[in-house]
Chains A and B, each alone.
Chain A
Amino acid sequence: MIRRLYESLPGPATVRLAEMAIIGAVVVVLLVVFYEWVGSTFMDSGGTIG
């Protein structure tokens, strides 16, 4: 899947690597936001009242 994504990207190899790095960073940020939301909503909100 990752290889297919890499091959579908435009540009030479170095540009593709840079594009993959950007995509990876965006995915990580989105995952952290998602994990943070799930964790604080359903698992441990910090014990706040109100």
Chain B
Amino acid sequence: MSTIRAELPRLTIRRGPSALAVGRVTARVAVVAAVLIAGFVVYEFGVTSLVAQRAQGGLRDDLIAWETTNPVSHVTYVPAGHRPAPVTVPAGLPTPEPAEPSVSGMIAVSGAPLPRMAVGRIVIETAGVDWVFVEGVDRGALRSGVGHMPGTALPGEPGNAVLSGHRTTYGAPFLHLDRVEPGDLITVTSASGDHTYQVVEVRTVAPTDTSVTGQWSGAWLTLTTCTPAFSARDRLVVISRLVAGPNAGVILAGS
């Protein structure tokens, strides 16, 4: 037996101990990196979507409760001084008739929502959007997908209502917002009623460009999300104007 073993050729490839150690370390680093990247992908696109969808389920019930219990009051609408809105209405879209600044009427307004509570529901057919949005645009509020920026007008009410939403994570509610074009309709249901907006402009701005969140005369809805998709570099902004709803007649007449 020992004779046979002695005659066998040695097939073992000898390596230096340092090369072997480097190989092992490299393999381990590669495995750890792969696990971390896989975990990142699962978390960003799986876990966050589950979180948002679960939140949406509860928010739909909360919204019904908010709409039925929220005291909607009717106040006299006195238009603010005429300031030119920083948007360009594309040709072909109806432009509201200019009216006397003294025109006033009654409009429905709802009470101030508490942070992170359901405020309304936004539907954009051309972008596949049907989401309940909450009050607030902090990280916690936006875990449910879309949030209303505090300090801006509530949808359907005078001023500029700003809604921000995730583009690729937390259910990606605004994933296809880039498909929206001027003329498309946006429906927002809130405690004060169903309000229809018409898109007048789609543009890209820097994340620090607060000009799009300013309060303008008339009733506007501004949607913001990240662009390009999978990057937080810029903001895609969709600006729309109130064209129908319980307050539209009065506000359009006075704006």
Q: Which residues of A contact B (CB under 8 A)?
A: 1, 31-32, 35-36, 38-50
Contacts and interface: CB of A to CB of B under 8 A. Distances in A.
Contacts, number: 83
B234 to A, nearest CB: 10
Interface residues of B, number: 37
A42 B210 contact: no
A49 to B, nearest CB: 5
The residue among A32, A41, A42, A44 with the most chain B CB atoms within 10 A of its own CB is A44
Q: Is the interface of B mostly helix, strand, loop or mixed?
A: mixed
Q: Is the interface of A mostly helix, strand, loop or mixed?
A: helix
A45 B226 contact: yes
A46 B44 contact: no
Interface of B: 28, 36, 39-40, 43-44, 48, 137, 139, 142, 147, 149, 162, 164-170, 174, 205, 207-210, 212-213, 224-226, 230-232, 235-237
B205 to A, nearest CB: 8
Contacts of A48: 137, 142, 149, 164, 207, 224
